[in-house]
Amino acid sequence: MKTRVLGKSDLDVSRVCFGAWPIGGGMGNVDPKQAVDTIQAAIDLGITFIDTAEGYQTSESVLGQALKGRRDSVILASKLSGPDHSKKHIHKAIENSLSALNVEYIDLYQLHTPQPKWPINNTMGILMALKDQGKIRHIGLSNFTSDQTQEAMEFGTIISSQPRYNLLFRQEDPTLEFCRQNEIGIIPHSVLAKGLLGGSYKPGHVFADDDERRLFNFFQGTMFQTIYGVTQQLEEWAKSHGRDLIQLAIAWVLANSAVTSAIVGMKSVAQVENAAKASTWKLTSSDLSEVEAIVGNLRPEWVKDQTPEDLPYKYGSY
């Protein structure tokens, strides 16, 4: 697994990042042993960058079990998920995360979403103090626009950004270009679009009560039907190249030179192995043009223009 340095930091991260929302139960219950085996298989295959959050149900505690004796083998990222950015809550959140993860520090601590109610200068001040205390090493942002990122940068060093960026939903203009110009590492979330780019779900699929995707509008009605038509054609294209849709989705994101690492949610060893294979696929300019022709012809305007705030995400980012 190749690596890249994340922004202006000393973090050398794997090109594929292990997204830990699924193993925490965001897509339904996952057996704890299976979750641990999945995490350890990822590390063994060189996927040593792991992204979680306080809001990902049991994700942090499962990682705490899986990383016993292996802390030094990974770059660990977590997030402040909730809407409360008070000093009291942030201190409680970081202590809870450190305890659940069973670590003394977090390599990358991120603000999960902008919270306009709380002045960003105060929030950044609290995070910078935690950095001085050695509890976090670096600060990142998730789902922030370029303007919001610029404001946060006035009060501390931001090394990374998590925009939503995949074949279907793209928060790319001007966020990606802004990050590129400011040497901020880009680690896109929702690379598989919550499973839309996994090839397993057909229109009419009913998610279990413990699967958060039952609430997402893009898994419902005509929106789902239209997207399914796109993904079917993408899957056929991938198969004609000896690959599958999941590998195409990951390879497409990594083909953007601005991207440092692609966050991919995984909850089985087989999924880890497939994601690792995807990192070896180098799409040519001709490949990218062909893929864009498929997506561009069928991707409706209401998909092109949506932002993260338009969709019913809770805390899941994969």
- How confident is the model over 90-113, as pLDDT tens digits? 999 999 999 999 999 999 999 999
Beta bridge partners of 141: 111, 161
Within a domain: 156: yes
Among residues 145, 154, 110, the alpha carbon closest in space to that of 130 is found at 110
Q: Where are the alpha helices (DSSP H) in 51-145?
A: 59-66, 87-101, 120-132
Q: What is the pTM of this model?
A: 0.90
pLDDT of residue 202: 76
Within a domain: 12: yes
Within a domain: 317: no
Within a domain: 318: no
Within a domain: 315: no
The whole-angstrom distance between residue 309's C-alpha and the CA centroid of its chain comes to 16
Domain extent for 190: 3-310
Is pLDDT at 313 greater than 60 in this prediction? Answer: no
- Hey, what long-range contacts does 201-205 have (CB within 8 A, 24 or more apart)? 201/228, 202/228, 203/228
For the chain, how many structural domains are there in total?
Answer: 1
Structural contact between residues 4 and 154, judged by C-beta atoms closer than 8 angstroms: no
Q: Is the dihedral of CA 307, 313, 316, 318 positive or negative?
A: negative
Phi first, then psi, for residue 100 (nearest 5°) are -65, -40
Residue 298: which pLDDT band, with cuts at 50, 70 and 90?
Answer: low
Other beta carbons less than 10 A from residue 166's beta carbon: 21
Estimate the share of the chain in helix, then strand, then coil, as percent rounded to the nearest 5. Answer: 45, 15, 40
pLDDT of residue 84: 96
pLDDT of residue 297: 56
Residue 211: which pLDDT band, with cuts at 50, 70 and 90?
Answer: confident
Phi first, then psi, for residue 2 (nearest 5°) are -70, 160
Average pLDDT over residues 135-163: 97
Q: For residue 28, give the CATH number of its domain.
A: 3.20.20.100
What is the chain's Cα-based Rg? 18
Within a domain: 90: yes
Within a domain: 252: yes
b/e burial code for range 285-305 (CB count within 10 A of at least 16 → b): eebeeebeebbeebbeeebee
pLDDT of residue 215: 67
Length of the chain counted residue by residue: 318
Structural contact between residues 106 and 76, judged by C-beta atoms closer than 8 angstroms: yes
The one-letter amino acid code at 101 reads: L
Average pLDDT over residues 139-155: 96
3-state DSSP assignment of residue 265: strand
pLDDT of residue 311: 40
Structural contact between residues 312 and 217, judged by C-beta atoms closer than 8 angstroms: yes
Average pLDDT over residues 219-245: 88
Structural contact between residues 161 and 308, judged by C-beta atoms closer than 8 angstroms: no
The pLDDT tens digits of the residues spanning 182-210 come to 999 999 998 998 878 987 777 777 777 77
Structural contact between residues 276 and 45, judged by C-beta atoms closer than 8 angstroms: yes
pLDDT of residue 307: 46
Between the CA of residue 173 and those of 118, 207, 249, what are the distances in Å? 26, 32, 19
Structural contact between residues 269 and 38, judged by C-beta atoms closer than 8 angstroms: yes
Within a domain: 43: yes
Residue 171: which pLDDT band, with cuts at 50, 70 and 90?
Answer: low
Structural contact between residues 100 and 62, judged by C-beta atoms closer than 8 angstroms: no
Residue 42: which pLDDT band, with cuts at 50, 70 and 90?
Answer: very high
134: left (phi over 0), alpha (psi -120 to 50) or beta: left
Average pLDDT over residues 54-66: 95
Q: What is the mean pLDDT of the chain?
A: 89
Structural contact between residues 70 and 43, judged by C-beta atoms closer than 8 angstroms: yes
